[in-house]
């Protein structure tokens, strides 16, 4: 017997309550902060977990607090069969929000605006209300669903690692912290930092400073360099040509006897570097074509690094690791952090590899190319991909529920370069809540969740619970 109508009616009747509960979480700035006794990720994540516990208790779910790393709620006392993993921490905010302040949730034109609305407090509430609908309607299930709410997903997922040191994973797991219809493959790969030390030089023209990028998993949207001993008009002409080629803009400023060059590109996730305009690589490419003193070590570093990671090469073809397979697609390579001083150069890359990749054809290839230029790089093994076959009963059940509720025919699972909460969990997939045709501004200013998508997600999750836990 189907219960779609009853579930939809219940969720519609409780929509305002859902918003109130979501807003109670969104008002908390839960970005990772300085650790305190009993608060491993600081005050903000701690407060978010405390509010989450209040909601779990309010709706009659057996709540447990795992030392303020993770909280859980159980639907019943049956066999532990399904885990739903969401997180209550958020990424830091910028000062360019326009619709509302980041932690003042607001509904505008059918959208909920505010930090965490789509990543991941909104999806967490959708899962919670799916469980609530099944519970309050007394729908026929015998197996238990456990919602797991973490507080460190954005900074490494040490919260979930802590939880699974104490508990076993359920037979099936999904995280509503990605995309529909379903992600069943997350690439493996490697990221690392290489460094070279060299003597200071007084040769000119030369680069005296370079810096760009902040996080290993983010395509840098800004970078700057200083050049000494070169006329600004020469730099301007080259910058205009480079801007036309790359789409990255360059701003030149006279500072004492140097010219400062600021590159302004477009940020993106390192798993999808083709979606950004890498300011670091564009600025390196610009510097590499300027008439600088060839023997100056800083200038040599610019050409060496730009040669390894040229602008526009997002698949590692130049460094020798580009490959592709039918299941996971192409390897991606994002060069995300670079710093050059008068005595040191360093760079950090993030490679998300095809499942055909391994240490021999990818990890060691990058290492040999980097070390051949005199850079040192610490040993770091590639991390393995995560894959749940598309024809598995679990994946097919989730896709069937998605199709039933949305009307989308024959949905197919997708592969991504990013890693989710379930990357290390056997039989774990990412399932919702984003859709490909809506840019939620996740991690950016004016983040939002479409209300209709929130409600549909809750309906899908409730249907999944019924199908898996009858």
Domain-embedded: residue 378: no
Lowest-confidence segment of 78-82, 407-411, 414-418 by average pLDDT: 414-418
- Indicate the pTM of the whole model: 0.81
Domain-embedded: residue 362: yes
Residues 112, 226, single domain; the answer is no
**What is the predicted pLDDT for the residue at 419?**
82
Domain end, chosen from 371, 395, 412, is at 371
Residues 174, 57, single domain; the answer is yes
Q: What's the CATH number where 302 sits?
A: 3.30.70.360
Domain-embedded: residue 131: yes
Mean pLDDT computed over 292-321:
98
Domain end, chosen from 302, 337, 371, is at 371
Domain-embedded: residue 300: yes
Residues 182, 196, single domain; the answer is no
Contact 354, 153 (CB under 8 A): no
Task: Give the residue numbers spanning the domain of 444.
Answer: 4-187+386-469
Domain-embedded: residue 380: no
Domain-embedded: residue 35: yes
Backbone angle region of 138, left / alpha / beta, with phi > 0 → left and psi within -120 to 50 → alpha = left
Residues 169, 226, single domain; the answer is no
Task: Give 64's contacts (C-beta < 8 A, 6+ positions apart).
Answer: 71, 72, 73, 74
Residues 139, 251, single domain; the answer is no
Residues 172, 45, single domain; the answer is yes
In the chain, the number of structural domains is 2
> Over the stretch 6-64, which tens digit does the pLDDT of each residue have?
999 999 999 999 999 999 999 999 999 999 999 999 999 999 999 999 999 999 999 99
Residues 273, 153, single domain; the answer is no
Residues 194, 169, single domain; the answer is no
**What is the predicted pLDDT for the residue at 452?**
98
Task: Give 309's contacts (C-beta < 8 A, 6+ positions apart).
Answer: 281, 284, 318, 319, 333, 335, 347, 349
Domain-embedded: residue 30: yes
Mean pLDDT computed over 373-379:
97
Residues 85, 100, single domain; the answer is yes
Contact 203, 360 (CB under 8 A): no
Domain-embedded: residue 161: yes
**What is the predicted pLDDT for the residue at 162?**
98
Angle, alpha carbons 122-123-124 (nearest 5°): 90
> For the chain, first and last CA: distance in Å?
11
Residues 240, 278, single domain; the answer is yes
Question: 1: pLDDT confidence band, cut at 50, 70 and 90?
Answer: low
Residues 183, 194, single domain; the answer is no
Say whether pLDDT at 338 is over 70.
yes
Residues 218, 167, single domain; the answer is no
Nearest in space to 30 (alpha carbons), one of 102, 107, 111: 102
Domain end, chosen from 316, 343, 371, is at 371
Q: What's the CATH number where 131 sits?
A: 3.40.630.10
Mean pLDDT computed over 360-386:
95
Contact 166, 66 (CB under 8 A): yes
């Amino acid at each position: 017997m189907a219960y779609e109508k009853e579930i939809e009616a219940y969720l519609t009747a409780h929509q305002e309550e859902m918003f109130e509960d979501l807003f109670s979480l969104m008002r908390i700035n839960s970005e990772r902060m300085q650790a305190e006794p009993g608060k491993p990720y600081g005050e903000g994540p701690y407060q978010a977990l405390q509010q989450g516990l209040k909601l779990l208790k309010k709706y009659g779910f057996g709540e447990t607090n795992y030392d303020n790393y993770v909280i859980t709620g159980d639907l019943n006392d049956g066999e532990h069969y399904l885990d739903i993993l969401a997180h209550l921490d958020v990424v830091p905010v910028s000062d360019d929000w326009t619709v509302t302040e980041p932690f003042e949730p607001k509904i505008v034109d059918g959208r909920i605006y505010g930090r965490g609305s789509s990543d991941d407090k909104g999806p967490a509430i959708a899962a919670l209300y799916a469980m609530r609908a099944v519970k309050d309607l007394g729908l026929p299930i015998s197996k238990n669903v456990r919602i797991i709410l973490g507080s460190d997903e954005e900074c490494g997922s040490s919260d979930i690692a802590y939880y699974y040191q104490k508990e076993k994973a359920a037979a099936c797991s999904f995280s509503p912290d990605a995309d529909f219809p379903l992600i069943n493959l997350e690439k493996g790969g490697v990221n690392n930092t290489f460094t070279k030390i060299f003597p200071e030089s007084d040769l000119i023209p030369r680069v005296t400073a370079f810096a760009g990028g902040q996080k290993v998993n983010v395509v840098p949207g800004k970078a700057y360099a200083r050049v000494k001993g070169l006329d600004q008009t020469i730099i301007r002409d080259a910058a205009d040509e480079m801007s036309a080629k790359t789409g990255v803009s360059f701003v030149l400023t006279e500072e004492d006897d140097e010219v400062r060059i600021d590159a302004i590109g477009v940020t993106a996730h390192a798993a999808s570097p083709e979606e950004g305009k890498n300011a670091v690589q564009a600025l390196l490419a610009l510097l590499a074509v300027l008439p600088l003193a060839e023997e100056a070590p800083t200038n040599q570093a610019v050409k060496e690094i730009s040669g390894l990671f040229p602008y526009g090469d997002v698949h590692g073809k130049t460094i020798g690791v580009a490959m592709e397979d039918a299941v996971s697609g192409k390897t991606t390579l994002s060069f995300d952090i670079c710093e050059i001083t008068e005595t040191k150069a360093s760079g950090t890359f993030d490679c998300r590899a095809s499942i055909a990749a391994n240490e021999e054809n990818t990890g060691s290839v990058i290492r040999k190319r980097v070390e051949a230029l005199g850079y040192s790089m610490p040993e770091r093994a590639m991390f393995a991909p995560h894959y749940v076959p598309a024809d598995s009963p679990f994946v097919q059940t989730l896709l069937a529920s998605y199709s039933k509720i949305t009307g989308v025919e024959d949905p197919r699972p997708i592969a991504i370069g990013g890693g989710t909460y379930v990357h290390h969990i056997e039989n774990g997939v990412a399932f919702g809540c984003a859709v490909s045709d809506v840019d939620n501004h996740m991690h950016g200013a004016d983040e939002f969740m479409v209300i209709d998508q929130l409600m549909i997600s809750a309906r899908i999750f409730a249907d999944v619970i019924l199908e898996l836990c009858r």
